[in-house]
Amino acid sequence: MIQLDRLDAGRLDKARAIVRDLGSVLVAFSGGVDSTLLLKLALDELGPERAVAVLASSPAYPEEEQEEARGLAAELGARLVEVDTDEVELEAYRRNNPDRCFHCKEELFGTLEPIRQELGLEQLAYGATAGDEGDHRPGHGSALRRGVRFPLLEAGMAKHEVRAAARRLGLSNWNKASFACLSSRIPHGTPVTVEALRQIEAAERSLKALGFRQVRVRHHGDVARIEVDPDEITRLVEQRAAAVEGVRAAGYKFVAIDLEGYSTGSLNRTWRG
C-alpha cells in the first residue's frame, strides 16, 4: 500500500511549474502511472488544447495494455493521437544487446517529433522518474540526446511519490502494476522476434487470468521462467496445474517458477555477470 505521507508536495509543485513552463506539450503516453500523472499535470496546467497524448503501438506491447491506455486518456479528457512504431524491424533492436532500449526510444522519439511539429506543440515529454537514471536505462540517453523533457524526473519525483501523487489526484491507475515492453523478457543476446513476443504475451495473459497482478514470463527458449510478487509464489504453486496449462498452451515446453520472485530488470544479470 502506498503511504500518502510519502508524497513531497514541494516536488509535485515543482513538477507542475516545469510543466507550465513547457508552454505546450506532446506527452508520450503508455497508460502507466508515470505517463498518466504527467498527462494529468499537463492537462491541468496547460489545458487540453496545449497538452496532447500520443500512444505508440508495436508488437512489443500487448493490445490489452493499449486498450487500457485508450480508456485512461478518455477518462482524463485528453486528445489522443495513435501511431505505430517499427522498432522490432530494426536490426540494432532485434539483436537485443544491452543498448536495445536506446534504439527503441530513438524510433519512438523519431516518430513522435514530426507529430509534435505538425500539431504546433513546443515540447515532447515522457514520464521518466527519479531513480530511472540510476538503473540501466539506455533509452533515457536518447531522450537527453534529442532534447525530450521529463518533468517528473526533473522535479526529483521518485516512483513512490508518483504513485502517491496519482492517488491524491484521483487517477484510477495509481496502483497499476509496473509494466515494461515484452522484449524485456528476452535475455540480452537472444534475438527479439515477433513470434517470441506473441508467445510471452499469451503466457502472461494466462497467468493474469488466474489473478496474478505483477507477472513476468522470462523467455529462455523452450523454458518459461515465471516471476510473480514473492508473496504470491505460494499461490502460484497451489495453482501450478492451471499455470502450467496456460503457459504451455502459449508454446513453451517447460515451465519454471523463479523462487526469488519478481525483480525489475532481472535479466540485466545475463550481461552484467
The per-residue pLDDT string of the chain (273 residues; one tens digit each, 9 = 90 and over) reads: 444 457 888 999 999 999 999 999 999 999 999 999 999 999 999 999 999 999 999 999 999 999 999 999 999 999 999 999 999 999 999 999 999 999 999 999 999 999 999 999 999 999 999 975 545 578 899 999 999 999 999 999 999 999 999 999 999 999 999 899 999 999 999 999 999 999 999 999 999 999 999 999 999 999 999 999 999 999 999 999 999 999 999 999 999 999 999 987 656 666 554
Strand order in the sheet with 254-257: 215-220, 223-228, 254-257
End-to-end CA distance of the chain: 33
d(CA 187, CA 19): 36
Predicted TM-score of the model (pTM):
0.92
pLDDT for 2: 43
pLDDT for 127: 97
CA distances from 145 to 59, 106, 135, 258 (A): 25, 9, 18, 37
pLDDT for 271: 59
pLDDT for 3: 46
Residue 68 in grid coordinates: 487500457
pLDDT for 8: 82
pLDDT for 128: 96
pLDDT for 265: 63
Q: Cell 478518455 maps to which residue?
A: 74
pLDDT for 29: 98
Residue 228 in grid coordinates: 510473480
